[in-house]
Amino acid sequence: MAGAVNLLVQSHPINSALSLIVVMGSLAAEYLLLGAEFLAAIQVIVYAGAIMVLFLITIMLLNAGKEERTKGSRVAILIGVPGVTIGAVLVAWTLVGRTSTTHLASIGALWGAPKDIARLLFHNFLLPFEVTSVLILIAIMGAVVLASRPEAIAQPQRSRPVPQETCELVVTGKDH
Amino acid sequence: MTANPYLWLVPVLPLAGAAINGFFGRGSSKKAITAIALGFCGAAFALALFLAAGFSSASAPYYYDLAHWLRSGSFQVDFSFYLDQLSLVMLLVVTGVGFLIHIYSVGYMWDDDGYYRFMAYLNLFMFFMLTLVLAKNYLVMFIGWEGVGLASYLLIGFWFTKDSAASAGKKAFIVNRIGDFGFLIALFLMIKHFGTLDFTHVFASVQTLPTETAGAGLLSAIGLLLMVGAAGKSAQIPLYVWLPDAMEGPTPVSALIHAATMVTAGVYMVARSSVIFERAPMAMMVVAIIGTLTALFAATIGIAQTDIKKVLAYSTVSQLGYMFMACGVGAFSAGIFHLMTHAFFKGLLFLAAGSVIHGIGGEQDMRKMGGLRVYMPWTFVTMGIATLAIAGIPPLAGFWSKDEILWRAYNASWVYWLIGVITAFITSFYMFRLMYMTFGGEYRAAAAQETHGHDGHGYGHGGPHESPWVMLWPLIILAVLSVLGGWVAGYNHHFENFLAPVFQGGKAVAEESPEAGKSALEYLLMAVSVSVAGLGWLLAYLLYSRRPELPVRIAAWLDGLDEAVAHKYYIDELYTALFVKPLIDGSTTILWHGVDQGVIDAAVNDSADAARHVSDNVRHMQSGNLRSYAGWVAAGGAAVIAYMVWMGVR
Amino acid sequence: MVPLSYYLVLSGILFACGVLGFLIKRNIITIFMSIELMLNGVNLSFVAFAAQWHALSGQVFVFFVMVVAAAEAAVGLAIIIAVYRTRETLNVDQVNLLKL
């Protein structure tokens, strides 16, 4: 939780990324407590290890600096924030009042063994498994296409982009 | 009742003529148009004569059911035709006089561009009038009633490019409609209480009801409402205002519609409904009073008119008043008799006036006429005969019918008789005034004519001249009828005996049969009316022939009264101020600005504006700003969560 | 012997933080990270329920969520790079092409 809050508070994206890594790690620990050992491992390896590294690479690639203060959207602040707080409070209140307080898995009872999960994955959830592999393939292809450099790239324009050319650029990815 | 399969042909023949001329007449030759129009009208007349020849009182009345029309529960109305003695008289008058006027119109309207249209309208009018006269139930009669109003509108506004003519047509139709409203309410009452509109059934039901001597009741209401309709159609007080304006139409129209036939539809209708009126004495008294007052009122206006046709128009209103007076005192057959003779001499008067107008190139102001007896001898003679007839000089037709009315009026109340006699005096006066101004003395327009040449002439003729023979023959025939018509019908109460089966059955109390001879009192009254007519002639002679400068001095002396009479007692202005202007102003402010612009237009415009405003405001949601989108999503999500929580809690 | 509701509340708070981050932050990468945070919060609640009802399918679902998150992160970052190339800014308020 502290990590989450910190993500919000920090102004430099690197710091936010690092606090997110903290959140990931603590979540892994939570999973362990809940007896999902496989998931805990996956969390650390995939999330904290791969995705966050990707984020960090991108931040450093794009040389993202401190956030500027720009005029934002009033709507987001005025309506969104109260909305989400109200939603969260409602959910919390409901959950606290409704769900049972029976004990959960005690520490040490690790029942989410990889063998069992694998059995489920390849028997009951085979179709989603295959579909997700296709999904990953598509994601890879998309990422490669999107991030590929155009053939001839001129100096990025320093001035505020002119609508017409920008439109063309964004749509086709070509400079002219 | 016997069936007669020829009845329905009589109205339909002119309809066919109207259709042919109306659709194909535009490119046809005038000869062809004339042949069609005269052919079909003449065929109707011939058929009427044939029916008359075959008519026998024993097998009368004849009827014929042409087709089914309405069936609603127990109420039914069919296209049915009916011929009894009353219808026969009307039929002969309508077809006969109508045919003569068709012939006259050939000459009068020959040079007009809309010749085919005129002939088509004339035939159309004949169709509607014959439907009215031959109807077997009130609804078919109403078809004819409305239709003659329509034909009247079309024909009055025949020269529709003239503003005054178009307005006159409008005025006629609208005032007629007011009367029709009363007629309709009467029909509704009949439907409600008798469940039928058929003459025989209605009259049979009425005869089971008692006479309403103690004031108003159902029959009085029906009678009064019918009278409202008749007042509109036959130009009685207070709905007479359209008839003088109707002189904007061509003269044959005035002769046919506003003298001989359409305006008599009201009298016919009242006579037909005699059974109802006999049982509603209050309504009959109202009819008589309206008739009497109208007769006097219109006659006084006629004295001061300078337009030859307007004099005749007011004279028509006045004579119609006589007819209603007759019906009002129970002398229905006398009223119909006067209707017949009036058709002869008033039709003749109008046609002759048209001949005069035609002969002097379109001039209608009597002050510019004079001395025309030299130029138009035939017109002069025939018009003179008609004037004698209308003044009531024996032994012409008018004398017989008018005298009969005055005698019966006297039997009802001496007040009616006195007013009738005064009106006769005035009638004689203004008619002879018309004759002297038009035909006597020297031609006053001669000097003016020389100065401005042929400019003022409507038809571009040179100098006053007699009309062509196609126009003169109808005049002569009508003149003969004016002389003989009364004699033949009135002698020995032939006419009344002929119509007796129609009216006798309706009487609540059986009357004693008319005496074969005449009593001394009747002879005395006859003498009074004749002498009064002579006095009128004398006065006109004095004022307009011997000392023509006198009328102007008298008019100056009676200045205010003269102004009022010349302006028709300002009745038109009164109506405008009372009804027309408030209606137009109300329509403008309330209905136009208020409802049409304020409510309807505003509703449409404002709904469009509202849509625009709403979309203007909603547009701001699409800002392209990611965070605002997210904000809306979060808010929406919170709303959904709240709803679900609330549902769960309930 | 931790009651289930605690885990769920934590999950809710994490999610809420994610949404707040999405709304408040201006740097697009940070916004992306908030999305990841949201996903993690959801994962936690899945695992909690799986633990309570001893249903392993809950954990399998978390597995799938992670896979999808990974794929999405990859594509999203690629998009960010492409946008950065044209707009030369990472400020999300300046990438509103609807307004010309």
pLDDT tens across B467-513, in order?
A: 788 888 888 888 888 888 777 666 656 677 777 777 765 454 434 44
Closest in B623, B627, B634 to C98, CB measured: B623
Q: How many of the other CB atoms lie within 10 Å of CB of A115?
A: 7
**pLDDT of the residue at B508:** 42
Q: Please tell me the total number of residues recorded for chain C in this structure.
A: 100
Predicted confidence at residue B510, as pLDDT, reads 37
Using a CB–CB cutoff of 8 Å, tell me whether B546 touches chain C.
no
Contact status, residue B416 vs residue B409, Cβ threshold 8 Å: yes
Q: For testing the chain A interface, which of B632, B640, B644, B650 should be mutated: the one with the most A CBs within 10 Å?
A: B632
pLDDT at B620 > cutoff 70: yes
Interface test with C, best of A11, A47, A172 (most C CBs within 10 A): A47
Q: What are phi and psi of B62, to 5 degrees?
A: -95, 155
Angle ∠(B331,B336,B337) on CA atoms, nearest 5: 95
Put simply, the answer to whether B626 touches C92 (Cβ < 8 Å) is: yes
Averaged pLDDT for residues A93-117? 64
Q: Two tokens at B595? A: 């409802």
Q: For residues B556-583, give the mean pLDDT.
A: 73
Give the distance from residue A70's alpha carbon to the nearest chain B alpha carbon, in angstroms: 12
B338-342, B479-483, B623-627, range with the lowest pLDDT = B623-627
Q: Provide, as residue numbers in chain A, all residues whose Cβ is less than 8 Å from the Cβ of C83.
A: 170
Q: Which of residues 90-119 of A touch B (CB under 8 A)?
A: 90-91, 93-94
Inform me whether the C-beta atom of residue C93 falls under 8 Å from chain B C-beta atoms. yes
The answer on pLDDT for A106 being more than 60 is no
Q: What part of A 3-22 touches C (C-beta under 8 Å)?
A: 4-5, 7-8, 13, 16-17, 20
Is the model's pLDDT at B259 over the cut of 80? no
Shortest Cα distance, chain A CAs vs residue C46, angstroms: 10
Considering only CB atoms, A76 lies closest to which of B631, B639, B641, namely: B631
Query: Which residue, among C47, B107, B579, B299, has the nearest Cα to A35 in the 3D structure?
Result: C47
Question: Letter for the amino acid at A174?
Answer: K
Residues B638, A83: C-beta atoms closer than 8 Å: yes
Predicted local confidence at residue C68, as pLDDT: 92
| Residue B214 pLDDT exceeds 60 | no
CB contact under 8 A, C96 and B627: no
Residue A131: band (very low, low, confident or very high) from pLDDT cuts 50, 70, 90: very high
| Phi/psi at B423 (5° precision) | -60, -40
Section B122-142 average pLDDT: 90
Higher pLDDT, B482 or A67: B482
A161–chain B Cβ distance below 8 A for any pair: no
Specify the DSSP class assigned to residue B590: I
Partners of C9 on chain A (C-beta within 8 Å) are 92, 95-96
Whether the CB of A49 is below 8 Å from some CB of chain C: the reply is no
pLDDT of residue B511: 44
Task: Return the residue of A nearest to B625 by Cα.
Answer: A73
Q: What pTM value is reported for the model? A: 0.68
Rounded average pLDDT over B44-71: 81
Determine which helix (DSSP H) or strand (DSSP E) holds C89, and give its type and residue range: none
Confidence of residue A67 (pLDDT cuts 50, 70, 90): low
Class of residue A46 by CB neighbours under 10 A (exposed 0-12, middle 13-18, buried 19+):
middle
For chain C (100 residues), the mean pLDDT of every run of 10, in chain order, is: 75 87 83 90 88 82 91 89 79 63
Tell me the percentage of chain B whose pLDDT exceeds 70.
89
User: With 60 as the cut, is the pLDDT of residue A73 above it?
Assistant: no
- Rounded to an integer, the average pLDDT of B80-94 is 87
Both tokens of A84, joined, read 């989400």
Cβ of residue A81 closer than 8 Å to a chain B Cβ: yes
Look at B556 and B231; give whichever has higher pLDDT.
B231
Q: Burial level of B367, CB count in 10 A (0-12/13-18/19+)?
A: exposed
Tell me whether C45 touches chain A (CB under 8 Å). Answer: no
Specify the pLDDT at position A109. 60
Q: Is C53 on the interface with A (CB under 8 A)?
A: no
pLDDT digits (tens, 9 = 90+) for B438-480: 887 777 665 444 444 444 444 445 567 777 888 888 888 888 8
Axis crossing angle, helix B377-391 with helix B397-412, rounded to the nearest 10: 20
Interface residue of B627, B629, B633, B640 to substitute, partner A, most A CBs within 10 Å: B627
Q: Give SS3 for C91.
A: strand
Name the minimum distance, in Å, from the CA of A51 to any CA of chain B: 23
Q: Quick one: which of B13, B47, B17, B53 has its CA closest to B35?
A: B17
pLDDT at B366 over 90: no
Q: What is the mean pLDDT of chain B?
A: 81
Six-digit token string for B275: 């059974």
Who among B628, B638, B639 is closest to A75 (CB)?
B628
Q: How far apart are CA B358 and CA B375, in angstroms?
A: 12
Of A106 and B163, more confident = B163
What is the pLDDT averaged over residues B186-212?
Answer: 83
Q: Provide mean pLDDT across the span B227-248.
A: 85
Least confident piece of the model among A151-160, B223-232, B314-323: A151-160
Alpha-carbon span B195 to B188, nearest angstrom: 9
- ipTM reported for the complex, 2 dp: 0.84
Strand residue runs (E) in B156-309 = none
Inter-chain touch C90–A17, beta carbons under 8 Å: no
List chain C residues with CB under 8 Å of A146: 75, 78-79, 81-82
Residue numbers in C near B624 (CB within 8 A): 96-99
pLDDT band at B35 (very low <50, low <70, confident <90, very high): confident
Residue B612 region, left (φ>0) first, then alpha (ψ -120 to 50), else beta? alpha
Report the pLDDT averaged over residues B40-66: 82
* Angle, CA B624 vertex, CA B618 and CA B629 arms, to 5°: 70
For the segment B37-41, the average pLDDT, to the nearest whole number, is 87
